[in-house]
Structure 1
Amino acid sequence: MLSEFNLFGVFIAPIAVYAIVAIPVTLLVRFLLWRTGALEWFWHVALFEVALYVSVVCLLVLYV
């Protein structure tokens, strides 16, 4: 788990860093799902993308 992140003298909470890092990871997974056609399996794609983002943030918090 990260401690506070120092950005030019301003301390940023670790959850903000995890949230920012999760954006490109989520976009990569979403792109892979779109290329394989698996994204069409979901009834509400936007809801799935939000759930995917939250899952990625949770996994980053747990394992980084």
Structure 2
Amino acid sequence: MPREISFFDAYVPTLLLAVLIAGAITLLLDRVLVRFGVYSLVWHPALVRVSLFTCIAAWLGLAIYA
């Protein structure tokens, strides 16, 4: 059964909150990776950013629903 959180009398899916948290974590990790110059070693930095966000969001989703 899906879990929901009441946010100002509106039910919000927990997965939406997980995606927002994943976005914040991705922004932090992106700044760290830029600072250390990791993106100069990859072929397509945008794909790395999208895959990083996808992996973090999926991990948080599995942590919630598993």
Please report the TM-score for the alignment, with normalisation by the length of structure 1: 0.85
Where do 4+ consecutive residues of structure 1 move more than 6 Å?
none
Is residue 37 of structure 2 the alignment partner of residue 45 of structure 1?
no
Q: 1: CA distance between counterparts of 2:62 and 2:30? A: 21
What amino acid sits opposite 1:43 in the alignment?
A: W
Paired letter, 2:36: T
5+ long unaligned stretches in structure 1: none
In the alignment, structure 2 segments of 5+ residues that lack a partner are none
AA matched with 2:62: L
Cα distance in 2, alignment partners of residues 32 and 11 from structure 1: 34
Q: Offset of 1:8 from its aligned partner? A: 1.1
CA distance in 1, matches of 2:32, 2:63: 22
Normalising by structure 2, what TM-score?
Answer: 0.83
User: Percent of pairs identical after alignment?
Assistant: 27
